[in-house]
Amino acid sequence: MQPGKLWDIFCRVIDNFGDIGVCWRLAVNLSQRGQRVRLWIDDASALNWMAPAGEAGVQVIPWAESLRPVALPPADIWLEAFGCEIAPEFIATQRVATRPGGQNLIWINLEYLSAEAYVARSHGLPSPVMTGPGRGLVKYFFYPGFIPESGGLLRETDLLARRASFNRDDWLQQLGISWNGEQLLSLFCYEPDALSDLLTQLAGGATPTQLLVTAGRASAAVAAAVNHKNQSEPLWNKGSLLSILHLPALTQSDYDHLLWACDLNFVRGEDSLVRALWAGKPLVWQIYPQSDGVHLVKLQAFLDIIQAPASLREIHQRWNEAPGSPQLPLAPFALTEWQQTVLTARKTQIEGPDLVERLLQFVSKSH
């Protein structure tokens, strides 16, 4: 594919760490491979801390601007993230615009990441638009995933080189974290029922631990859990084996560094799961909970595809409040076993093309 295609990426923020995190990484990744990107987003506030330096090849445009006639060069590709639905007003004005070389517009619906079997069946399928201003156009489904028949995973071309050159001591010092060899755990979560058990286990273990808590919901959940334990069990951390550090909001680069620095990473959602996989460290994933329990099927598919051992499955079931999971303290960590699982899964993913490579190949064939 020739460089310099113009992409319109559309994002509506539901979980401001997840949706915008994936879309920003995608936009930057495309830009760094010679593409031009306009990111249309309804709430870009998280970029103030997630990516304060911006990216030269990415233009961020408020979603509201797509609701009125747009006097901009027409994009070669529309990418609709997570079914956010491009504004009809934008479709009406931009679909009729003349594109260089008379090339057709390519419309892609980027779906959520999954390891489920339907990904292989649905990835790349066309969906004719039957109504509205987009009638007559064709939308293509693009499914990120872990198998060759999927859209792959987001990965920068220099990621592994940066990972290999990372110095944990230097980074912790730059962030102002005093570290004397304690076990390091990162925590990015919603409000898991097992959080209190995790704190109890870490405080009662044989290994001094620093729990590095990300800003936002995780920090609030930990503060509430600690306050409750201090009132109900004043001596729960009497040996002071557990120290808790609430981190400031981290840029995407520094969140990667956090994952690289820690001995175990508790992650949530889609973007942080992929970043934890690239980190090559033991991980526990809290999947976004859904009332109908569908998320547990998705979780099981992921554990199957990485060939998770029984110990890793058990903690995932407990951390995600799966029905029938024992309401007992968390089982001991099996970090050596878990890390080997993650490293094996990472090796498999690295051997194939990443998501942006596959996107570019798809667009090239479609043109």
Count of Cβ atoms closer than 10 Å to residue 212 Cβ: 24
Catalytically annotated residue among 55, 80, 270, 271: 270
Whether the CB-CB separation of 107 and 137 falls below 8 Å is answered with yes
What's phi and psi for 52, nearest 5 deg?
A: -60, -25
What's phi and psi for 141, nearest 5 deg?
A: -85, 130
Burial letters 61-99, b for 16+ CB under 10 A, else e: bebeebeeebebebbbbbbbbbebebbeebbebbbeeee
Rg (CA), the chain: 22
The angle that helices 19-32 and 271-279 make with each other, rounded to 10 degrees, is: 60
Q: Which uninterrupted H or E stretch holds 360?
A: helix 355-366
Rounded to whole angstroms, the Cα distance separating 307 from 256 reads 24
Rounded to whole angstroms, the Cα distance separating 340 from 333 reads 13
Count of Cβ atoms closer than 10 Å to residue 174 Cβ: 11
Count of Cβ atoms closer than 10 Å to residue 303 Cβ: 18
Catalytically annotated residue among 8, 19, 76, 256: 19
Sign for the CA dihedral angle at 337, 342, 347, 348 comes to positive
Count of Cβ atoms closer than 10 Å to residue 227 Cβ: 10
The number of residues in the chain equals 367
Annotated catalytic, 19? yes
Whether the CB-CB separation of 285 and 265 falls below 8 Å is answered with no
DSSP secondary structure, 81-98, as one string: ETT----HHHHHHHTTSP
Angle at 174 between CA 169 and CA 177, to 5 degrees: 70
Rounded to whole angstroms, the Cα distance separating 80 from 142 reads 10
**Residues carrying an active site annotation:** 19, 270
